[in-house]
């Protein structure tokens, strides 16, 4: 998955109509709630085999931070 595909996939994970970029602030998205965090956890595990915890998400501020966690 390249950086572009990651953004498209995140749009589906969050089911958002917003155009996402690496600077998008998670807190600014209406969709960013606890269920979306769980959806993101499942997405990272399924596609990158990376396990994250709720604690990780407290430190993440932007979409770029999630991408970094995925190793992109």
Partner 1 sequence: MIQFTKEQRFIVTGASSGIGEAVALRLNELGASVIAIARNEERLLGMKTKSKHPENIYIEIKDLAENIEQLPSYVKELKDKYGKFQGLANCAGVGRILPLKSIDFTEMQKLFNINYFSPVFMTKGFTDKRNNNGKGSSVVCIASSGGVHCDPGMTEYAGSKGALIATMQAIARELAPSYIRVNCVSPSLISTNMADEISRSFAEGKYPMGIGKPQYVANTVVFLLSKQAEWITAQNYIIDCGAI
Q: Is 34 helix (H, G, I), strand (E, B) or coil?
A: helix
List the one residue from 15, 27, 58, 59 that touches partner 1 (CB under 8 A).
15
**28 touching partner 1, by CB under 8 A:** no
Q: Is 23 in the site for partner 1 (CB under 8 A)?
A: no
CB-based contacts of 9, cutoff 8 Å, min separation 6: 1, 43, 47
The verdict on 17 binding partner 1 (CB under 8 A) reads yes
Among 2, 19, 28, 35, binds partner 1 (CB under 8 A): 35
| CA 3 – CA 30 distance, rounded (Å) | 23
The yes or no reply on residue 49 touching partner 1 (CB under 8 A) is no
Interior CA angle at 54 toward 52 and 55, to 5°? Answer: 95
Q: Which residues bind partner 1 (CB under 8 A)?
A: 15-17, 31, 35
């Amino acid at each position: 998955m390249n950086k572009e595909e990651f953004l498209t996939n995140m749009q589906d994970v969050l089911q958002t109509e917003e155009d996402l970029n690496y600077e998008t602030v998670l807190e600014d998205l209406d969709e960013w709630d606890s269920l979306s965090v769980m959806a993101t956890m499942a997405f990272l595990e399924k596609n990158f085999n990376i396990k994250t915890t709720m604690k990780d998400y407290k430190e993440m501020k932007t979409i770029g931070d999630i991408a970094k966690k995925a190793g992109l």
